[in-house]
Structure 1
Amino acid sequence: MNLSDQLSITAKKYPTKTAYIFQGEETSYMELEGAVIKFASRLEQLGYKKGDHIALIVGNSPYYVIGLYGALRMGLVVIPINPLYTAHEMTYILKNGDVKAVITMDILLEKFTAIADKLPKVNHYISCDSGADLKLDQNLLSSKLKSFTQLIQEGSLDYDAPELKDEDLAIILYTSGTTGKPKGAMLTHKNLFSNAKDVADYLTINGEDRVIAALPMFHVFCLTVALNAPLLNGGTVLIMPKFSPQEVFRMTKKYNITVFAGVPTMYNYLLQSAQENKEDFAGIRLCISGGASMPVALLKEFEKAFEVQISEGYGLSEASPVTCFNPLDRPRKPGSIGRNIINVENKVVDEFGIEVETGEVGELIVQGRNVMQGYYKMPEETAVALKDGWLYTGDMARMDDEGYFYIVDRKKDLILVGGYNVYPREVEEVLYSHPNVTEVAVVGVPDPETGEAVMSYVVVDDSSATKEELIGFCKEQLVKYKIPSKIEFLDELPKNTTGKILRRSLREKVVN
């Protein structure tokens, strides 16, 4: 089974049921299925064959859903790309990914005219109408330009899709590339379908659920948890073009949303508006957090304010992405990423790959039908990440005696102070518990005496919290070598498009 075939089954079973809502308009499963078939048929007529690569560079919209499922229907390999990337960033991925067609928004077309000569393998640029009043050069990208809407209108419902095998490549997800160039994680139809199904089963996401997609769809967290999982079971997806706390509250109340998925930063923004919007969240039965570790103080405050449980989980692009979630049939543990989801095994090992004792810190490794084939055209990097059937995550973790895992920190984020290990998250948890701190990020900085020192970047509320006060607060709860030697106040912390705090940018800030 795969996502495309399952959509067909769901459309036949629930033809009139709403698949997604976008800007007030509802689209049924049969309408979605029809658009997917027509788009796939026209791609084939344009000369594309099973196994060809197509880039999907659009924001949260029906274009994304139809483009994704339409390409998968005819066996193309989809490469989702952040529309906010620069032309330089896109060029690398499009060339490295051997892309033959690009689906993108009309407002981005000028960006592609600047790099088109560097992309001779791209045969078509399929333009999606943004609704903006654009005056585009009709010769833009010459004969390579096609209209997304027109392709669907010209498509045929009489289309025989090629057979899709479990191990056929479906998506290549380029990681953010914390060091060096981005790496393309190769995910099969089996990887994507199994993880969406296992997540839906584990979190009981069903046909009665209405899931809000506020995270960017090009990110694998949203792709699996807020799009594929609900569509598998006949649920309804509310597509939000971008995250806005007030819009989330408004849409949640208007459309009776039952499931919200977000990163910790989103929950922080929602919490700041809790007092006047609490009732709007009354229908939410489940909140899902991932993408980054959620500070325990934030989790407890949010749950208290909205009277709803947050199930924190863990995943990575290379695992499609989910490997752990806090179960719903028992009390969740604050600070934990939960237990193994269905059909996935996690364990913590030492530097030799040997499982450590319960409670000890080591590297988290993962095994399951959700784990990638490898990195595209990067055999050496693949050999480092995949060993003896296990995916090495690069995250330091521990497991308790009930099988709950806790992320301690990224391997590369570990700070060595005079030979002592300092995990940034531990220091961040302490600072987050201060009543005036709203955001914090801890990094290691060079120190002539200890090798590295602990530096904290902090965002506070309107109060007059001082560096001395925060350092004194840390002294009450941390051993001396873990206490920040420097604290810098910022108006906001640098984040990526999913709201994940970018420690690398903060480290570069120190170096520069």
Structure 2
Amino acid sequence: MTNLHDARTFRERGWWRDATFLDDLARWAEAAPDRPAVVSHFWETRGGPDVVLTYADLAERVERCAAGLAALGVRPGDRVAMQLVNQWQATVLALGCGRAGAVAVPYFIATGPADTEWILRESGAAAVVSLDEVRGLDVAAAIAGMRGRLPALRHQIVVGDRLPEGAARFEDALLASGGPAPEHRPDADDVFQIMYTSGTTGRPKGVRHSFNTLYAMARSYTEPLGLGESDVLTTPCVVGGQGGWLYGMLAPLLAGATAVWADAFEAADFLDLAERYGITAGYLTPPVLDPAVTEQSERPRALALRHVVAGSTPIPPSLPARFHATFGLPLRPLWGMTENGGVTIGRPDDPWDWAAHSDGRPVPWMATRLVDDDGREVEGDGPGRLEVRGANMCLGYEGADDAFAASLHDGWFVTGDLARPDGRGGVKVIGRTKDMINKGGLHVPPVAVEGVLRDDPRVAEVAVVGEPDPVLGETVVAVVVPDGPPPTLDELRRRVRDAGLTPGYEPDRLEVVAGLPKTPTGKVRRRELEEDLARKARAAGAR
């Protein structure tokens, strides 16, 4: 590969294609119309029985959704934002956008109003589809309150019964138009998704993906594991992030498998679903795997699981052994980003405990390398800065070409992670080179939180850093140099919430210090603070 996207080579090798996920849907709707495509289970957003859509049902609703979007005036290239949880409406909307030529703009259900308004404005969304409310969040009402400041936003559509003034119900707006589906047929290289992810500067970044980059990313899961039509796949990762899209929506569609959605995660509920529907493969994060292991060990179910993959946050070294002892399966690691999906993944020929030592080998259509601080490739055992390139890589950042260009080095994407070779052709990520806190899969931008905390008159200086946590990977610590009596942790947390930042960005702990370590130019030495916190955590764990 001579550049980030060698489209000709990608197509010659079958890494990209001329078809789209809409063609996959049409193929399965014809070949297996009665096979369940989506099972939608509800226990948080509403009551009622599970909704099961066959491939024929799904294809029909996607056509109706595309017709509904066209009737609203949504045209090819328009952006449709979605703030949903894992439910059948998310699948129908995403594929309906693709069928209509619109670009889906997913973001997390817990995204705060300040970031939501930024995303809707920056993407130029013509329509937004959200839940009415969930988990104490008045999602639709918050969007209604900002519509007057968003001139491009023409339509607000709501899943649920609590409708703000001027909003329409999902079924009425998108599934009941009765009009024809648009004649437009998407091209495999068209932009299909702009997914917003937190940036180190605090502004969410819109990561652009085509049908083809997402196809390569979905194959990075289905092909190494040999997933196919007889499989039943699931993930509790929310559809507002790439894990939900890939492993709960696109990978099952690509394989012709059944996807089992649940609108929220609870360990007992998850395992009951796995038993009821014969789930065979799942992608889970370590924070949800931990309670699932405990629940299964205390109340075993008869499960059909044959593959479980973990990623998004570091895998605690003890988890693979506990998982294996409870489920009788090896836990497979996966590493990737919103920008590139699953770059590395564990293989069936790896040792059963390999997830404690590795994040897997790269798939054939992705390349990895480790470089030193001067950009030279690292030889031997490393470690080094992890760079990647290949067919999974995104097309860039929405409205931020300079930022994307700055993330490239000699034709490689700079991940911001520090890694070492695992001895079997793969890598083990051991830290970060970018200032970002990975809290259970939520990427917390320190600069954004610092900006809010710095406004407290009792805060002379502040640095927000990550502290090691055995379950979440990291938690958020506010290291404060006070000006007089320091604020309390509760006061700082309230300040972050009141600023409209995303829930979870609040500091989990307050550390009051006399001064912050700095470089000669006055930049805070974050790594020094993090290493000090890590030493304290290790010392506390040893007591």
TM-score of the aligned structures, taking structure 2 as reference length: 0.75
- Match 1:324 to one of 337, 344, 369: 344
Do residues 18 (structure 1) and 18 (structure 2) align? no
| Residue 156 (structure 1) shift | 4.8
| Residue 154 (structure 1) shift | 2.8
- Match 1:114 to one of 140, 145, 168: 145
Matched position secondary structure for 2:228 = coil
2:385 alignment counterpart: 363
Query: What residue identity is the alignment partner of 2:213?
Result: N
| Residue 177 (structure 1) shift | 2.4
Matched position secondary structure for 1:181 = coil
| Residue 109 (structure 1) shift | 2.5
| Residue 161 (structure 1) shift | 3.9
Matched position secondary structure for 2:126 = strand
Alpha-carbon contact 2:213-2:391 (below 8 Å) kept: yes
Query: What residue identity is the alignment partner of 2:61?
Result: A
| Residue 296 (structure 1) shift | 1.3
- Match 2:157 to one of 106, 110, 126: 126
1:171 alignment counterpart: 193
CA distance in 2, matches of 1:314, 1:261: 12
CA distance in 2, matches of 1:442, 1:127: 33
How many residue pairs are counted as aligned between the two chains?
439
CA distance in 2, matches of 1:337, 1:301: 18
Q: Using a 3 Å threshold, how does the CA distance of structure 1 residues 388 and 51 change in structure 2: closer, same or farther?
A: farther
Q: Using a 3 Å threshold, how does the CA distance of structure 1 residues 168 and 357 change in structure 2: closer, same or farther?
A: same
Q: Using a 3 Å threshold, how does the CA distance of structure 1 residues 397 and 245 change in structure 2: closer, same or farther?
A: same
- Match 2:301 to one of 263, 279, 288: 279
Q: Using a 3 Å threshold, how does the CA distance of structure 1 residues 380 and 247 change in structure 2: closer, same or farther?
A: same
CA distance in 2, matches of 1:99, 1:377: 13
Do residues 4 (structure 1) and 25 (structure 2) align? no
CA distance in 2, matches of 1:322, 1:161: 33
Matched position secondary structure for 1:402 = coil
Query: What residue identity is the alignment partner of 1:471?
Result: A
| Residue 182 (structure 1) shift | 1.1
Do residues 346 (structure 1) and 368 (structure 2) align? yes
Query: What residue identity is the alignment partner of 1:253?
Result: E
Query: What is the percent sequence identity of the aligned residues?
Result: 24
CA distance in 1, matches of 2:365, 2:474: 34
Q: Using a 3 Å threshold, how does the CA distance of structure 1 residues 118 and 38 change in structure 2: closer, same or farther?
A: same
Query: What residue identity is the alignment partner of 2:407?
Result: A
Q: Using a 3 Å threshold, how does the CA distance of structure 1 residues 374 and 449 change in structure 2: closer, same or farther?
A: closer
- Match 2:234 to one of 188, 212, 235: 212
CA distance in 2, matches of 1:150, 1:217: 22
1:44 alignment counterpart: 70
- Match 2:286 to one of 264, 269, 274: 264
Q: Using a 3 Å threshold, how does the CA distance of structure 1 residues 457 and 184 change in structure 2: closer, same or farther?
A: same
Alignment of 1:450-469 (within 5 A): 452-453=528-529, 454-456=531-533
2:57 alignment counterpart: 31
Alpha-carbon contact 1:22-1:239 (below 8 Å) kept: yes
Query: What residue identity is the alignment partner of 1:11?
Result: A
Alignment of 1:121-200 (within 5 A): 121-129=152-160, 134=162, 136=163, 140-141=165-166, 145-156=167-178, 158-200=180-222
Q: CA RMSD in A?
A: 2.8
CA distance in 2, matches of 1:167, 1:110: 36
Matched position secondary structure for 1:31 = helix
Q: Using a 3 Å threshold, how does the CA distance of structure 1 residues 53 and 414 change in structure 2: closer, same or farther?
A: closer
The gaps in structure 1 that reach 5 residues or longer are 416-423, 433-437, 459-466, 476-512
Alpha-carbon contact 1:358-1:400 (below 8 Å) kept: no
Alpha-carbon contact 1:186-1:374 (below 8 Å) kept: yes
| Residue 455 (structure 1) shift | 4.7
The gaps in structure 2 that reach 5 residues or longer are 1-18, 42-49, 134-138, 438-464, 480-512, 519-524
CA distance in 1, matches of 2:142, 2:120: 13
Q: Using a 3 Å threshold, how does the CA distance of structure 1 residues 293 and 372 change in structure 2: closer, same or farther?
A: same
2:113 alignment counterpart: 87
Do residues 70 (structure 1) and 96 (structure 2) align? yes
Q: Once the two structures are superposed, what CA deviation does each residue of 1:64-90 show, in whole Å capped at 9, x if it has no partner?
A: 010100001111111102222222221
CA distance in 2, matches of 1:386, 1:456: 31
TM-score of the aligned structures, taking structure 1 as reference length: 0.79
Alpha-carbon contact 2:313-2:473 (below 8 Å) kept: no
Matched position secondary structure for 2:375 = coil
